[in-house]
Structure 1
Amino acid sequence: MKEFSNFIEYMKLVDLQLEDATYTWFKGDQHEVASRIDRILISEDWDDKFQNLKQIPLQRLSSDHIPIALLGGSWERNKGNFKFENWWSKVEGFIDIVRDWWSSFNFTGRPDYRLACKLRVLKSKLKEWRKGEEGNLTIQRKKLLEQMADL
């Protein structure tokens, strides 16, 4: 088992988050013992090229295993890269919002995997936030120009 773990680390494989389930194997009628023994591992290259990859549990029928499937969203890359705007940190309450988001994210696995997952989710939260009035540079610029015109 240690050799397999070393291989995964050497190849820099990522264990995708299993959505809506914690375990993939159960023992006993009351599920006294449970474990996650089924996984889909991908390379960092795949993680960069394919968006919205996720593992989902399928319906368990008669086996003690829950089958899993790999789903992907858009297979095309976004044209724009995510950019953090330094001025966001000066918006009132921004740091507190980010801190609350960060502490609400819960992932299990190796520390580097948990960090990568948290950063991915934080990125999507920031993308949503920047569409609103406080995070949208175009709206903020317009408001400032109106204030200058009033002066």
Structure 2
Amino acid sequence: MRYAQTATTSAPVQRLWAAVIDVERWPEWMETYESVRRNQPGPLRPGHTAHVKQKGLAGGDWTVTEFDEGSVFSWENVKPGVRFVGRHAVAAEPSGGSRVMLSFEASGPLSGLVRLFYGRKVRAYLDIEAARLAAAAVKVA
């Protein structure tokens, strides 16, 4: 199962990136999140973890597995029978502004059940989150 969504904003890519990596503020900007609590201080880096709780979904610790400053970060959460990966990328738009590209993937023997029971919610959440991060980038100082 893999879902992806893209949204554009008039904000420069640096401001969009600032919104994307400020994960603890996501609940302020996106109604899909109840809480995000980082487990390490300082800038987000590979190996860092955060406890994430979204509405209607089980909470869990997500570990940063990919980080390219200013352009992309991915994190994963592993449960018995399924591995979840969330990817967050930003890029400048040729005409000005920037775009955020979000993707969510579930793999493993139980990923079909995840798609069956949560696929619609995951797709809706990605739609909301891409739009809200694009909007938040306009406000981030």
TM-score normalised by structure 1 residue count: 0.25
Q: Which has the larger radius of gyration?
A: 1
| Larger RCO of the pair (alpha carbons < 8 Å, separation 6+) | 2
Please identify which structure carries the higher strand content.
2
